[in-house]
């Protein structure tokens, strides 16, 4: 099934500066998420940024803060664990949630599990998640897919949103991936 932009929202999970020195793929993930959020702005797709215990782990990467998105602090590993977080996500009335961030096998996976349990369609941007150990990402992706999540590349997501080169945002969004 192809994605429909008006059915989607994005959750950005814990892409915080204190993780940068410990995760080899941090910069690549940050760049991919920046591309996704730029495209989302063109198409009016809502997004939320989650920060895991920012008092201890710091705030989100500066490139993500420039989008001026709502930032939700959490101490639970899942971004869909507390009632406040659930209500915030549900308030957007979107059936499909695109999940990006880190770490793949902890906060991303627990968020995905909770979203699936509440009957959301979950798409993991597989080139926009990571863990300190790349094998943890590989194993988490396999388990999340077995549990019912789909995974796509950022570029696949963007072009599924566009549907056609005649989309009025095609030039702007295609320029993001050149």
DSSP-derived 3-state class of residue 163? coil
Residues in CB range of 18: below 8 A, 6 or more apart: 57, 58
Per-residue pLDDT tens digits for 127-168: 999 999 999 999 999 999 999 999 999 999 999 999 999 999
Q: Which two tokens stand for residue 54?
A: 């920012």
Task: Tell me what the mean pLDDT of segment 76-80 comes to.
Answer: 98
Confidence of residue 1 (pLDDT cuts 50, 70, 90): confident
Per-residue pLDDT tens digits for 95-128: 999 999 999 999 999 999 999 999 999 999 999 9
Going by C-alpha positions, the residue among 12, 90, 82 that lies closest to residue 50 is 12
Model pLDDT, residue 34: 98
Model pLDDT, residue 68: 95
Q: Which two tokens stand for residue 174?
A: 């295609």
Q: What is the extent of the structural domain holding 123?
A: 5-176
**What angle, 0 to 180 degrees and rounded to 10, lies between the N-to-C axes of helices 26-43 and 154-162?**
10
Q: Which CATH number do you get for residue 153?
A: 3.40.50.850
Going by C-alpha positions, the residue among 106, 144, 110 that lies closest to residue 125 is 144
Q: How many domains does the chain have?
A: 1
Task: Tell me what the mean pLDDT of segment 5-32 comes to.
Answer: 98
Q: Which two tokens stand for residue 51?
A: 């920060």
Indicate the pTM of the whole model: 0.97
Exposure class string for 140-176: b at 16+ Cβ within 10 A, else e: bbeebeeeebebbebbbbbbbbbeeeebebbeebbeb
Confidence of residue 29 (pLDDT cuts 50, 70, 90): very high
**pLDDT above 90: residue 176:** yes
Model pLDDT, residue 96: 99
Model pLDDT, residue 166: 98
**pLDDT above 90: residue 178:** no
């Amino acid at each position: 099934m192809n994605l429909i932009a008006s059915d989607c929202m994005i959750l950005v999970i814990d892409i915080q500066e204190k993780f940068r020195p410990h995760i080899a793929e941090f910069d690549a993930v940050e760049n991919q998420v920046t591309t996704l959020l730029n495209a989302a702005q063109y198409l009016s797709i809502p997004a939320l940024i989650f920060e895991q215990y920012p008092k201890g782990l710091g705030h989100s990467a500066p490139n993500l803060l420039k989008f001026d998105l709502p930032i939700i602090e959490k101490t639970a590993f899942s971004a869909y664990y507390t009632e406040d977080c659930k209500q915030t996500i549900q308030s957007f009335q979107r059936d499909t949630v695109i999940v990006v961030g880190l770490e793949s096998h902890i906060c991303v996976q627990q968020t995905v599990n909770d979203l699936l349990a509440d009957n959301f369609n979950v798409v993991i941007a597989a080139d926009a998640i990571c863990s300190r150990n790349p094998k943890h990402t590989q194993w988490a992706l396999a388990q999340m897919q077995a549990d019912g999540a789909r995974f796509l590349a950022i570029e696949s997501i963007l072009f599924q949103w566009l549907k056609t080169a005649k989309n009025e945002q095609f030039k702007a969004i295609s320029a993001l991936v050149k």
